[in-house]
Amino acid sequence: MSNQVIINNAVKKYGDFTALKGVSLNIKEGEFFTLLGPSGCGKTTLLRMIAGFNSIEGGEFFFGEKLINSVPAHKRDIGMVFQNYAIFPHLNVKDNVAYGLRARKMPEEAIENKVHEALELVQISHLADRKPNELSGGQQQRVALARAFVIEPSVLLMDEPLSNLDAKLRVQMRTVIKKLQKRLGITTIYVTHDQEEALAISDRIAVMKDGNIMQVGTPAEIYAKPQNPFVAGFIGISNFIDCNVVSDNRVDINGELSVDIPLKKEYRGKAILSARPEQLFFSKEGLPGKILFSTFLGDFVEYEVRLDNGQTLTINEYTKDNSAVYENGENVFISFDPARVSVYEAESQEVLSL
């Protein structure tokens, strides 16, 4: 049975360095939840605290209603998939997968059935008698997955499980993992620094920076409505344009474009407008600029445009909408849909837009 995972004000310190600064999360039962952020942000530290591998300097960790702070790792009923697979080189595939079941003293007949089912699920039953050194990276990762979920843990933890695979295999394996997780319904907490991977695989994402949670939301929420410039810049590509809020909902950009953007509170002063490359478009009037460079990428053309104020923007124009390609050096005007962009206070970086 899967568990809800609740973390209240988690703190982790290494000497004078605070790796986690009061992190709180509520991960739903059966959810695929991803901890996403750059190296050193605290995501693996948090995962290891959930697993029981790291000490806890502050805060509370619950599986369901059970406080697990003092519960040893081997009694937390977790499955773990590591970056380096951590499968036993001296055991064949089926004995690797059976290891956790034997540690639980399950009868051999039941073990054989469960191992067979697990290998069928990850589609490597034909490799049951092979040793790890006879397997590809993707096959080894499937063994690690089967070993983790065959014990039917209440929580499955994955630490950068695809980072050692090539790009094509990563895409294939993330689909395997997502389908398996949905089929089995195990609460899964997944660590990655790969934004595309997180967007593709997650029910919800927590974006982390410097030991803090910057935003929690669905992939669509995180991408379309980032709550601060860090999230906007870390997830995908964002253009940041200096602007001023001059009156209620009125945003002025360099005195060249003035638009109404719905804001959630009264504010006057310097601000930052954030827009994805696909949220900008060429128009008959707007922000004046010049095409610096264009790259044809099949479905769309990516343009690098320098505004008259010196700022450089990236714009994607889809070929299904316009077959013509602008020439380098061509003068253009840039515009956007005010309802789709984000606006932040320049100093506090608090989100202003709805």
CATH 3.40.50.300 given to domain 5-229 = yes
Q: In the predicted model, is pLDDT for residue 248 greater than 90? A: no
CA-angle at 232, arms to 315 and 176, nearest 5°:
95
Which residues is 215 bridged to in the sheet? 207
Interatomic CA distance for residues 354 and 344, integer angstroms: 11
Q: Strand, coil or helix: what is 301?
A: strand
Q: Please report, for residues 180, 236, 242, 304, the alpha-carbon distance to residue 292 in angstroms, rounded to integers and kept in the order given.
A: 46, 21, 20, 5
Report yes or no: 23 and 66 within 8 Å, Cβ to Cβ.
no
Query: What one-character DSSP code corresponds to residue 207?
Result: E
Token reading at 177 = 């993992």
Contact 177, 124 (CB under 8 A): no
**pLDDT of residue 97 exceeding 90:** yes
Task: pLDDT band for 93, please (50, 70, 90 cuts).
Answer: very high
Residue 167: burial class (beta carbons within 10 Å; 0-12, 13-18, 19+): exposed
| Region(s) of the chain under CATH 3.40.50.300 | 5-229
Res. 323: pLDDT tops 80: no
Cα radius of gyration rounded to whole Å, the chain = 24
Residue type, 274: S
- Taking each helix axis as running N to C, give the angle between helix 93-103 and helix 108-121, from 0 to 180 degrees, rounded to the nearest 10: 130
Buried-exposed string 16-39: b where 16+ CB fall within 10 A, e elsewhere: eebbbbebebebeebbbbbbbbee
Of residues 323 and 23, more confidence is placed in 23
**Residue 165 confidence (pLDDT):** 86
For 95, other C-beta atoms within 10 Å of its C-beta total 16
Q: What is the architecture, at CATH level 2, of domain 237-345?
A: Beta Barrel (2.40)
pLDDT at 335: 96
Q: Is the pLDDT of residue 1 over 80?
A: no
Supply the pLDDT for residue 322.
80
Task: Please give the average per-residue pLDDT across 232-249, as a whole number.
Answer: 95
Please tell me the predicted confidence (pLDDT) of residue 163: 87
Q: Is the pLDDT of residue 167 over 90?
A: no
The dihedrals phi and psi of 325, each to the nearest 5 degrees, come to: -120, 130
Say yes or no to pLDDT of 85 above 90: no
Per-residue pLDDT averaged across 255-275, rounded? 95
Find which of 40-44, 120-124, 164-168 is predicted with most confidence, using mean pLDDT. 40-44
In the chain, ranges of CATH 2.40.50.140 domains: 237-345
Q: What local confidence, expressed as pLDDT, does residue 293 receive?
A: 95
Nearest CA among 180, 140, 136 for reference residue 156: 180
Residue 324's pLDDT is what?
82
For 63, the 3-state DSSP assignment is strand
Would you say residue 84 has pLDDT above 90? Answer: no
- Token pair, residue 216, equals 């929690």
Per-residue model confidence as pLDDT tens digits over 17-57: 999 999 999 999 999 999 999 999 999 999 999 999 999 99
